[in-house]
């Protein structure tokens, strides 16, 4: 058993991130943001914000799949994890930059969507830790 597999086997199942709550929160934030942008006269920015949230969710899901794939292999290495992360993040970055550049000035919405998703993800990930610390 490799060091990565050993470390993964010690992670309790309750700490494995479910994307259900981030999806629900992202949908709510996306709808509110889209309505706000439409009311302010920038519907394209609202749509791109929703696309940014979707890219964030896509990144989270692909991260989970890449981690499971890397750990379940016969000889998992950090290099495989780094390679899959770099490829995934490069793809998302290129999509975001292309949308931001070609749909100016409303293309900023995709970056706002990605940033908002990261805040949602951080809050979702930190909540169990804070809850655990309060019980101690």
Query: What does the domain layout of the chain look like in residue ranges?
Result: 18-135
Above 60 in pLDDT, residue 8? no
Torsion sign over Cα 93, 61, 114, 78:
negative
What percent of the chain has a predicted confidence (pLDDT) above 90?
A: 59
Q: Yes or no: say if 17 and 121 are a contact pair by the CB < 8 Å rule.
A: no
**Encoded tokens for 38:** 């439409």
Of residues 134 and 4, more confidence is placed in 134
At 117 the three-state DSSP class reads helix
CA distance 105 to 130: 38
Where does the pLDDT of residue 110 fall: very low under 50, low under 70, confident under 90, or very high at 90 and above? very high
**Encoded tokens for 8:** 């993964």
Rg (CA), the chain: 18
Q: What is the mean pLDDT of the chain?
A: 87
């Amino acid at each position: 058993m490799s060091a990565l597999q050993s470390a993964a086997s010690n992670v309790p199942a309750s700490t494995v991130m479910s994307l259900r709550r981030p999806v629900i929160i992202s949908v709510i934030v996306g709808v509110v943001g889209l309505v706000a942008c439409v009311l302010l006269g920038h519907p394209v920015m609202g749509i791109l914000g929703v696309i940014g949230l979707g890219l964030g969710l896509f990144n989270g899901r692909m991260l989970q799949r890449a981690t499971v794939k890397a750990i379940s292999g016969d000889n998992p290495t950090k290099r495989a994890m780094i390679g899959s992360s770099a490829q995934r993040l490069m793809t998302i970055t290129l999509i975001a930059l292309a949308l931001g550049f070609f749909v100016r000035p409303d293309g900023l919405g995709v970056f706002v969507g990605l940033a908002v998703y990261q805040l949602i993800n951080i809050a979702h990930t930190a909540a169990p830790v804070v809850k655990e610390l309060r019980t101690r």
